[in-house]
Structure 1
Amino acid sequence: MNDPGLDEPQQEAVEDVENRIQSEDQQAEREEREYLDPSRWWFASTAIPLIAGTFGPMANAFSICALTVEWRVYIPPGKTEATGTKLRDPRWLIAVNSVSLAFALIANISLLLNMSRRLSFAVAQPITITGFYMASFLLIALVSVASSEIFRIQPMETHALSQAFYYGILAAAIYFIIACLLSFTAYGAFKGHYAKEFRLTASQRTLMLQTIAFMVYLLLGAVVYSKTEGWDYLDAVFFTNFTLLTIGFGGQWVPVTHTARSFTIPFAIGGLVTVGLVIGSIRTLILEHGKQKMAARFMEVRRQKALASIDNETRTMLIGWLRKIEFSEKGLSENQRREQEFHVMRRLQTLSERKRRYTALAISATAALLLWFIGALIFMYSEEPQGWSYFVSLYYAYISLLTIGYGDFVVESNAGKAFFVFWSQLAVPTLTILISNMGDTVIKGFKDFTIWLGSITVLPDEEGLAKTLKLGWERIKTGRIGHQKAGYRNGSSGTSEQRTQDRLAAYVENEELGRAEEAGEHGDFLERDIRFYHYVLVKEVRELMKDIENSPPKEYDYHEWQYYLRLIGQDEHDPSHHRQPRAHANRDDGEAPDIGAADGGQKHTWSWLGIRSPLMGNQSEPQWLLQRLTGTLESEMRRMSSSDERVRKAQPPISMSELTKKRRSGESSDETKTLNKQVGHTKRRGEKDV
């Protein structure tokens, strides 16, 4: 019969280990799902709500503009449509316009409550989608009637449609697009592709509030200018828009009363703050999710292609277009295979990130060019009475996009003014994304080139001109097309072991190890090693917290990874902690070799080239390590409180005894002398059993 007094703590220890492994497996599977989440469903679950939250308030503002001003204009002789006399709208137009605005406001409020988690997804989404569709259909009906001869007064030459009519067109189009996009979001949620909630960060949820604040600020400012300057209200909206966006056309569009000028001083400052908040939130969106998802997609595609291209006969792997490297598992130890995989994965990571940066730049540049060219085309047709050519329109659009605003050309038509307000606000996120992507590519390239040029001319590095030129040549060679080695070195385990020992020995001299040394003096070397291990874990957690603050995120070399993996119990030298390599990389069924697969159903194992590699995923390397180290530290604390002495006295993965043994073997002469001084006082402890 089994002794209950022994079986209970033993079973407790086994369950603790199993729970830890299961928790790690669940965490790895969750991270894998998040990392491989297809970009189209990320767009539906995150990007679409943000688009709706950003453009919904803008459409509401346009609806207000369409409601507050008459839709028809009488043009007296010698006047233009911009200076004509407004004609009263029929009551049915005002009523339908008001109902449309009410539907849109309800939809936006529902969307805002859903984003702030005050209204459930199942309730908010139908209200939001229905509200936007109804607002759109009602405005479309009004626009259709207003465009017909039933509404327009003859003769056509002496009558025109006001800016309010064109604001109604813009609002109807935006409502319809938002409703269609949110319908796609609801479809994905009810199909189970993601949770029935908006997975937005705090900064993303506030984007809608910031957009609302900007539009309210613009409309209220227009009220002040229309009263103080005697402008038509929608002309004042046009003025406040290019004022807040710092375009400033000048000419006739300047405040002339002292009241308006005095108001402009605080109004412009507040506008800069509001626009800056919106731009900051948009940039955060791109950095937090857009870049992350694009990088994940590119990395996974390149990884799969690289694994599928392994050729055992030529011992090569294709990691890019015309980029082959030596890759073979034959004749290598498991540790050498792991190091080879690490360096290959690092190369794939570098190439994928480079492609991601330039692809993002190409997309954002294309969007900016389309905004420029299409905007110029519309300005050319709207300003046909002024005789604008397409070149003049291109010039005007370019000056406006860059917020230069000379004022030599300014739109005067009702259609041109309304479209300019929408077009210039659309330019804010477009140019923000473009500038952000240029910062990762073009601007960074110029910055690096300037620093390098300075180092070989007037500002040489401390290492000298020759060293700088040699380093530059090495960087050029690393990007050369052709056969290149993966970068691993045979027999490097001794060097990594030495680095690990040096790093651990650096902690020996710290006074906080007094308790561990005291245990060693009493001959309890295991207790000393356990305390030493716990101390090292705490110290490394502190170091990783510093590394997380680095920008860009810090990347560790293979020897550093060996050290950290050993601390969390995944020794690179111990094959039991990771997968066994496949005997043949190429498969007969034509599928990619599953190098990352674990043997024996041990799902917690991984390969450097597998999907669960620390170099994959949404976390940076310091974040990945910090999460594992803190988990290991928590597990150690639970183990120390276990009622089973065998569990408490388990041998840690590192030890001070090992340090002493390494130094006695004479592996490193210079470091041995220094480190022997640090641990010299431990020699008198009588470690004869070590």
Structure 2
Amino acid sequence: MPLVYVPWSKSGEYISLLDQTRATARKSKIPNVKLIAVNSVSLIFALAANIALLLNMTRRISFAIAQPITIVGWFMASFLLIALASVASTSLFRLQPLSQHALSQAYYYGIIAAALYFIIASMLVITVVGAYRGHYPKEFRLTSSQRTLMLQTISFMFYILTGALVFSKVEGWKYLDAVYWADFTLLTVGVGGEHVPLTHTGRTLLFFYAIGGIMMVGLVIGSVRSLVLERGKEKMSARFVELKREKVLNSIDPDEQTIKLGLFENITFTTKGLDESQRREQEFRIMRRVQQKAERKRRYTALAMSSTAALSLWLLGALVFMHSEKPQGWSYFVSLYFAYTSLLTIGYGDYTLSSNSGKAFFVFWSLLAVPTLTILISNMGDTVIKAFRDLTIWIGSLTVLPGEQGIRSTLGIGVGKLRHGKLYSPKEEDKDGKAVGASEQKILDRLADSVEKEELGEAEEAEEQGDYLERDIHFYHYILAKEVGQLTRDIHASPPRQYTYQEWNYYLRLLGQDENDERLHREPKVHQKRREGDQPDLGTANEGGDSRWSWLGIRSPLMGNQNEAQWLLQRMSLTLEREMQKQRSPHAKKEPPPISMANLNRKRDSDSTSGHQTELRENVGAAELRRRGHNDEV
């Protein structure tokens, strides 16, 4: 209970005596039972708020009903706890002499709970206001990852509290001391001290309790990584790409015919002497560079943010430990040392906490460290650790483990990649990805194969009858079905698949968006000198339903939250569905598709005579090049 004081002995240890609590109540003008009642009311408000929030998340209660209950409940619980803590810290409840008594752990847990209630309730107020203004949806649609993390976190806390109750009975500890012990045990900190199992029963139970807790910590860390990092990565990537794109567009100099991609990177940007496809390819390559630079900035920004959070956790935690352990004479350096060995779960045990405030804060602080360090380590894996790994592999290829191309070739490749800010780029050994289930992929492959065989058979039959338009329509359906199957595998590739401009040219042609048709594209207005404050008109949508787009515009397939394979699969599937509906309709007008078997025949003739690769990029044969692993420079 937050108001209870316990005496402080000369040896520096807390002594918990029921008589002291009773003495405190007798010395108080307010009966102790009333304070217990206020504390119970605070707990009821908190439970009601949590239950309302959970029912809202499971769609049992509407947003309009659940949110007021949750917000009011947490605010009331916070205010009641603050009132109790304020009263308990006054001289009305102090035992004399004051220097020989200290507040119990329950008091500090009450302060922490009040602060958390207030902060979360305030954030929910912002969410509700934003929802009614149309910035957020008026509901909580939890994904499977969010549900998993929530259930795992609740289970882990229940596991800690239940285990603490069992060990407090077995070892004769106070319950909150047992909570402190369970926390540093399951997080593998092992700070030592007086709280260690001494009975055979406790040590036997520890075998099972510790391994179960460590497994649950691992599950929580995995969920934090998959949920927080992946979702945060998508949002940050989209934001950084948009900011970089706007900055690049604002740097266009129509007089010098240049565009600035970086501090020391200016490239030519002009449409003079270029046909439509070349102009579009120029935009595409610039947008790719925008993506690369934005992604690099995102990685190091995320690293800086997580490093700052971890550093703050260390330094501020050490400051709290220094003040809480004044009776032991801890300096700030000793507190830094203790906080560092605890954060990294080293736990030498040479310094241990003895104050009630320090123990209560350690539980909250160490649980907060789990997601913080998880995010930091993951961000280091994308930047510092990855750079060190690539450097190690590159040095190894020059020394003890030379590559297949030889040391001289490896050295040349490494120097070239250093110039572009990337030392080592391993081959994608699994572009198709393994995220999709084997059974699901087999079903999708069989469906695609069925459509392919049916359409190809009908195309051959139509060709035998001399109906070349019907032949080309079925051949087009066959190609669409085949590419849908391929994109279904690409969609799960890790890292996400990025296609070359030649592949995009091929796919867009299948979708009826020929890169050579300037009527489908936005014309970048960069030939005239812009006035100060004007924005370059590159690919932004005009009012009136203009569906034209630019690779550098907001409608670009390289913008948004979808990766490239998702964007293509969605539109390729819709195109195939639309084509099949037209085929079934007896009144639909038959039109020549964007590709035909004549394209394939011309490609074969071109291969047998000149071997010219440009023709390959403009017809169906480009798909086969892509599958064989060739790139646009073969």
Normalization by structure 2: what TM-score? Answer: 0.87
CA distance in 2: counterparts of 1:245 and 1:189, whole angstroms: 38
Corresponding residue to 2:330 among 378, 385, 388: 388
Q: By how many angstroms is 1:290 displaced?
A: 1.3
Question: Does residue 73 of the first structure (1) align with residue 15 of the second (2)?
Answer: no
Question: Does residue 120 of the first structure (1) align with residue 53 of the second (2)?
Answer: no
CA distance in 2: counterparts of 1:168 and 1:666, whole angstroms: 79
CA distance in 1: counterparts of 2:554 and 2:609, whole angstroms: 38
Corresponding residue to 1:528 among 471, 495, 507: 471
**Aligned residue pair count:** 577
Q: Which structure exhibits the higher relative contact order, with contacts defined as CA atoms closer than 8 Å and separated by 6 or more residues?
A: 1
CA distance in 2: counterparts of 1:653 and 1:557, whole angstroms: 20
* Residue identity opposite 2:241 in structure 1: M
Secondary structure of 1:83's counterpart equals coil
CA contact (8 A) 2:7 2:14 kept: no
| Distance 1:573-1:598 versus aligned 2 partners, 3 A rule | farther
Identity of aligned residues (%): 62
| Distance 1:597-1:144 versus aligned 2 partners, 3 A rule | closer
Partner of 1:151: 93
| Distance 1:275-1:583 versus aligned 2 partners, 3 A rule | closer
* Residue identity opposite 1:82 in structure 2: Y
CA distance in 1: counterparts of 2:105 and 2:541, whole angstroms: 66
Q: By how many angstroms is 1:476 displaced?
A: 2.1
Q: What are the Cα deviations for residues 99-150 of structure 1, in whole angstroms up to 9, with x where unaligned?
A: 1111111111111111222221111110111011000000000110111000
CA contact (8 A) 2:303 2:380 kept: yes
Secondary structure of 2:60's counterpart equals coil
CA distance in 2: counterparts of 1:381 and 1:586, whole angstroms: 63
* Residue identity opposite 1:347 in structure 2: R
Secondary structure of 2:91's counterpart equals coil
Q: By how many angstroms is 1:159 displaced?
A: 2.1
Partner of 1:644: 587
Q: Map 1:510-659 to 2 at 5 A.
A: 513-582=456-525, 584=527, 586-588=529-531, 590-597=533-540, 601=544, 603-645=546-588, 647=589, 649-659=590-600
CA distance in 1: counterparts of 2:84 and 2:453, whole angstroms: 81
CA contact (8 A) 2:79 2:114 kept: yes
Larger mean CA deviation between 396-405 and 582-591 belongs to 582-591
Q: By how many angstroms is 1:295 displaced?
A: 1.3
Corresponding residue to 2:15 among 60, 83, 88: 83
CA contact (8 A) 1:71 1:163 kept: no
CA contact (8 A) 1:310 1:585 kept: no
Secondary structure of 1:73's counterpart equals strand
CA contact (8 A) 1:75 1:85 kept: no
Partner of 1:350: 292
CA distance in 2: counterparts of 1:260 and 1:585, whole angstroms: 81
* Residue identity opposite 1:456 in structure 2: L
Partner of 1:292: 234
* Residue identity opposite 1:540 in structure 2: E
Larger mean CA deviation between 578-587 and 383-392 belongs to 578-587
CA distance in 2: counterparts of 1:668 and 1:466, whole angstroms: 37
* Residue identity opposite 1:74 in structure 2: P
CA contact (8 A) 1:72 1:159 kept: yes
Q: Map 1:464-475 to 2 at 5 A.
A: 464-475=406-417
Q: What are the Cα deviations for residues 567-587 of structure 1, in whole angstroms up to 9, with x where unaligned?
A: 111111122232234363643
Q: Map 1:32-47 to 2 at 5 A.
A: none
Question: Does residue 175 of the first structure (1) align with residue 117 of the second (2)?
Answer: yes
Normalization by structure 1: what TM-score? Answer: 0.80
CA contact (8 A) 2:539 2:549 kept: yes
Partner of 2:282: 340
Q: By how many angstroms is 1:305 displaced?
A: 1.2
Secondary structure of 2:135's counterpart equals coil
Secondary structure of 1:82's counterpart equals coil
Q: What are the Cα deviations for residues 520-579 of structure 1, in whole angstroms up to 9, with x where unaligned?
A: 122122222111111111111111111122111011111011011111111111222322
* Residue identity opposite 1:110 in structure 2: A
Q: What are the Cα deviations for residues 456-504 of structure 1, in whole angstroms up to 9, with x where unaligned?
A: 2222222222222222122122249xxxxxxxxxxxxxxxxxxxxxxxx
Q: By how many angstroms is 1:665 displaced?
A: 5.6
Secondary structure of 1:318's counterpart equals strand
Corresponding residue to 2:271 among 329, 344, 349: 329
| Distance 1:574-1:668 versus aligned 2 partners, 3 A rule | farther
Q: What are the Cα deviations for residues 277-309 of structure 1, in whole angstroms up to 9, with x where unaligned?
A: 322222223233211111111111111111111
Secondary structure of 1:214's counterpart equals helix
Q: What are the Cα deviations for residues 188-220 of structure 1, in whole angstroms up to 9, with x where unaligned?
A: 111111211124322113433322222111111
CA distance in 1: counterparts of 2:601 and 2:508, whole angstroms: 22
Corresponding residue to 1:457 among 399, 407, 420: 399
CA distance in 1: counterparts of 2:241 and 2:505, whole angstroms: 23
CA distance in 1: counterparts of 2:68 and 2:529, whole angstroms: 51
Q: By how many angstroms is 1:642 displaced?
A: 1.9
* Residue identity opposite 2:173 in structure 1: W
CA distance in 2: counterparts of 1:271 and 1:220, whole angstroms: 12
Q: Unaligned regions of 5+ residues in structure 2, if any?
A: 26-31, 423-448, 622-634
CA contact (8 A) 2:12 2:328 kept: no
CA distance in 1: counterparts of 2:382 and 2:38, whole angstroms: 49
Secondary structure of 1:591's counterpart equals coil
Partner of 1:7: none
Partner of 2:428: none
Q: By how many angstroms is 1:257 displaced?
A: 1.0
Q: By how many angstroms is 1:515 displaced?
A: 3.2
Larger mean CA deviation between 368-377 and 213-222 belongs to 213-222
Q: By how many angstroms is 1:81 displaced?
A: 4.5
CA contact (8 A) 1:533 1:655 kept: yes
CA contact (8 A) 1:129 1:182 kept: yes
| Distance 1:151-1:442 versus aligned 2 partners, 3 A rule | same
| Distance 1:149-1:583 versus aligned 2 partners, 3 A rule | closer
Q: By how many angstroms is 1:599 displaced?
A: 7.2
Question: Does residue 404 of the first structure (1) align with residue 346 of the second (2)?
Answer: yes
Partner of 1:242: 184
CA distance in 2: counterparts of 1:457 and 1:252, whole angstroms: 53
| Distance 1:607-1:283 versus aligned 2 partners, 3 A rule | same
| Distance 1:154-1:555 versus aligned 2 partners, 3 A rule | same
CA contact (8 A) 1:238 1:417 kept: yes
* Residue identity opposite 2:496 in structure 1: P
| Distance 1:465-1:95 versus aligned 2 partners, 3 A rule | same
Corresponding residue to 1:221 among 158, 163, 166: 163
CA-based RMSD: 2.3
Partner of 1:487: none
Q: By how many angstroms is 1:601 displaced?
A: 4.6
Secondary structure of 2:231's counterpart equals helix
Q: Unaligned regions of 5+ residues in structure 1, if any?
A: 1-65, 481-506, 680-690
Q: Map 1:254-273 to 2 at 5 A.
A: 254-273=196-215
Q: What are the Cα deviations for residues 584-623 of structure 1, in whole angstroms up to 9, with x where unaligned?
A: 3643363221110467955322110001111111011111
Partner of 2:602: 661
CA contact (8 A) 2:7 2:16 kept: yes
Partner of 2:446: none
CA distance in 2: counterparts of 1:81 and 1:187, whole angstroms: 49
Q: What are the Cα deviations for residues 52-100 of structure 1, in whole angstroms up to 9, with x where unaligned?
A: xxxxxxxxxxxxxx47xx7211345x45442343432521221111111
CA distance in 1: counterparts of 2:225 and 2:539, whole angstroms: 35
* Residue identity opposite 1:348 in structure 2: V
Larger mean CA deviation between 465-474 and 589-598 belongs to 589-598
Partner of 2:624: none
Secondary structure of 2:261's counterpart equals strand
CA distance in 2: counterparts of 1:454 and 1:558, whole angstroms: 34
Question: Does residue 103 of the first structure (1) align with residue 45 of the second (2)?
Answer: yes
CA contact (8 A) 1:307 1:593 kept: yes
Secondary structure of 2:92's counterpart equals coil
